[in-house]
Amino acid sequence: MVLGRGKINTDEAIRPVFPWARIWLAAVTRPTVATYQELARQPHVGSLDAWIWLFASSFLSGVLVSLGPVFVRARPAFDQGLALAVFTIIAVLAWAIFAVCIQGIARLFKGGGTYQSLIYVFAAFSAPLMLLASGLSLVPHSGLVLIALYLYWLALYSVAARGAHQFSWLKAVGAVLLSLMLLSGALLGLGLLVVS
């Protein structure tokens, strides 16, 4: 359980029967630098947990979105298995590339964190928020709520980068925004290349 002032009691919060649920809850509901620093310092921090969380949440998000037609009484598409697999892989790869960009820029800014701890902390809030965003996308007129969720999600990247790399707010926000601009520019360039 998260204790006062953002400190985590590792005996209770990290080692229960379902440790991922408590980790996700702490990462989403108590997004402080101290919380993310504590998560990044856990002895069992590993990129395998992060990848499992992201693959599972991407897959379940794809399932949720593909069930959308069922809720609006349209004909469901049951031949979406390949599309679901491709969506899962693309979602995880896009997230990983974003994390690599943030890690690279953070290292240029003299950040002290490792890629392994960074992706673990990022996955701790990205996996549940991905599921939440997919569920909300099924709700009619949820556009403003989704925009607020995405802005919150983006802010969490800055807090987590600061916690994992132990540098200033300016450097943390700069690493996230520069990464976002780099990836946006790369996608725009790729799109223009494909169209022309």
d(CA 67, CA 79): 12
Q: How high is the pLDDT of residue 84?
A: 80
18: left (phi over 0), alpha (psi -120 to 50) or beta: beta
Q: What is the mean pLDDT of the segment spanning 158-168?
A: 92
Q: How high is the pLDDT of residue 75?
A: 55
Q: Which of 42-46, 59-63, 123-127 has the highest mean pLDDT?
A: 123-127
pLDDT at 193 over 70: yes
Cα-to-chain-centroid distance, residue 77: 28
Alpha-carbon Rg of the chain, whole angstroms?
18
d(CA 76, CA 94): 27
- The pTM is what? 0.80
Which tops the pLDDT comparison, 11 or 133? Answer: 133
Residue type, 124: A
pLDDT at 2 over 70: no
What are the sequence ranges of the domains in the chain?
4-195
Determine the straight-line distance between the first and last CA of the chain, rounded to whole angstroms: 54
